[in-house]
Amino acid sequence: MSGPIGLLVMAYGTASGPHDIERYYTDIRGGHSPSPEQLRELRDRYASIGNRFPLLETTTKQAEGLAAALSAQGGDEFRAYLGMKHSPPFIPEGVVRMHEDGIERAVGIVMAPHWSGMSVETYVERVLQAVDDDGGGPTFTFVRSWHDHPAFVRFLASRVEDALAELEPSQRAGVAVIFSAHSLPVRTAHDGSLRCLRCDCDASCRYRDGLRETADLVAEKLDLEDYTIAWQSAGRTADPWWGPPIEEVILHLAAAGHPAVVVCSAGFVADHLETLYDLDIQAKTIAQEAGVTFVRTEMPNDDPRFVAALAAVVRDHLVGA
């Protein structure tokens, strides 16, 4: 095989504006329309962050920057394509564009560092189904997890370091760092344990362990004394979700006497509703009401240092593949 290598950079998706919220919400609910109350609540949340919908633009910059960084290293040429799970351009559209452009080799990478059967693996399945439906297209390999890649860990550590520098010396002496990721729905097994809905794993879940490993690696690099993990942005469903939720963790840390918390949302790599509202408004308000200073690490977005870390992830993957 010859020619450029295609990069299918995938993300969850986003509404394109206030007019698109209902369509987006219906899509993430598997085609079931939200109730008027649910729709009103989501519209209010977007309004509270100024009706910003930056995810598509940010992911586009990440993809283009990644292709440019990899191509600049010499050897193969890389070409970027986008695939969103719940909004245009959808994953099948990206696969079809690759086929139309004559791409024969491709790497799929989800903008989520931690593997889960309910997240990353569903993207992989959609890509493979799209290739099958298209009757051709590139041969894919997939970066399924990069939560522990040294380049990513170094980048996260620098973000945590920057956030810690925003605190007063007295606050830094007692600060606790919270590493968070998106919660996932679980079910209660016959033995009373909680298990992932899709992969049926228990407390040793690879997703939970991945977030813990990221936290441990960053903490080791920075010699952090007080740090923990928490889960955020749980859905409003009848199922239980992984915990503890970040709101409870903040209150627990406040009760334990910590004057400040730094939240590193390690499971996300771009600003969107889950950071701009769930953390910057909801979690911050809870911290302030509990008398705790709240600082959040800046999201990677299209920072050239983060793009360089992604390039290292893809390069190492290709060597292994």
Q: How do 5-11 and 78-84 pair as beta strands?
A: parallel
Task: Report pLDDT for 296.
Answer: 98
**Dihedral angle sign, alpha carbons of residues 113, 114, 116, 118:** negative
Task: Report pLDDT for 272.
Answer: 97
- The rounded distance, in Å, linking the Cα atoms of 265 and 74 is 33
Average pLDDT for consecutive 10-residue bins of the chain (321 residues)? 90 97 96 95 98 98 98 94 98 97 97 94 97 92 98 98 97 97 81 61 75 98 97 85 95 98 98 98 98 98 98 96 79
- Listing DSSP states for 261-293 in one string gives EEEE-TT--S-SHHHHTIIIIIIHHHHHHTT-E
Task: Report pLDDT for 240.
Answer: 85
Residue with tokens 């939200």, as numbered in its chain: 34
User: Quick one: angle between helices 150-165 and 304-320, nearest 10?
Assistant: 160
Q: What share of the chain is helix, strand, coil (3-state, %, to 5)?
A: 45, 20, 35
Backbone φ, ψ for residue 290 (5° rounding):
-90, 0
Burial class (CB in 10 A: 0-12, 13-18, 19+), 193: exposed
Burial class (CB in 10 A: 0-12, 13-18, 19+), 261: buried
CB 246 within 8 A of CB 230: yes
The class of domain 150-296 in CATH terms is alpha beta
- The rounded distance, in Å, linking the Cα atoms of 35 and 41 is 10
Q: Quote the pTM value.
A: 0.94
Task: Report pLDDT for 203.
Answer: 46
HSE on the CB side for 247, CA within 13 Å?
11
Convert the pLDDT of each residue in 2-37 to its tens digit.
799 999 999 999 999 999 999 999 999 999 999 999
- Pinpoint the residues of the chain covered by CATH 3.40.50.1400: 5-146+302-320, 150-296
- The rounded distance, in Å, linking the Cα atoms of 221 and 157 is 7
The class of domain 5-146+302-320 in CATH terms is alpha beta
Task: Report pLDDT for 58.
Answer: 98
Task: Report pLDDT for 237.
Answer: 77
Q: Which helix (H) or strand (E) holds 7?
A: strand 5-11
Task: Report pLDDT for 198.
Answer: 56
Task: Report pLDDT for 93.
Answer: 97
- Listing DSSP states for 74-129 in one string gives SSS-EEEEEEESSSSSBHHHHHHHHHHTT--EEEEEES-SS--TTTHHHHHHHHHH
Convert the pLDDT of each residue in 269-308 to its tens digit.
999 999 999 999 999 999 999 999 999 999 999 999 999 9
**Do you find a cis peptide bond into 89, omega within 30 degrees of 0?**
yes
CB 246 within 8 A of CB 180: yes
CB 85 within 8 A of CB 123: yes
CB 295 within 8 A of CB 262: yes
Task: Report pLDDT for 43.
Answer: 98
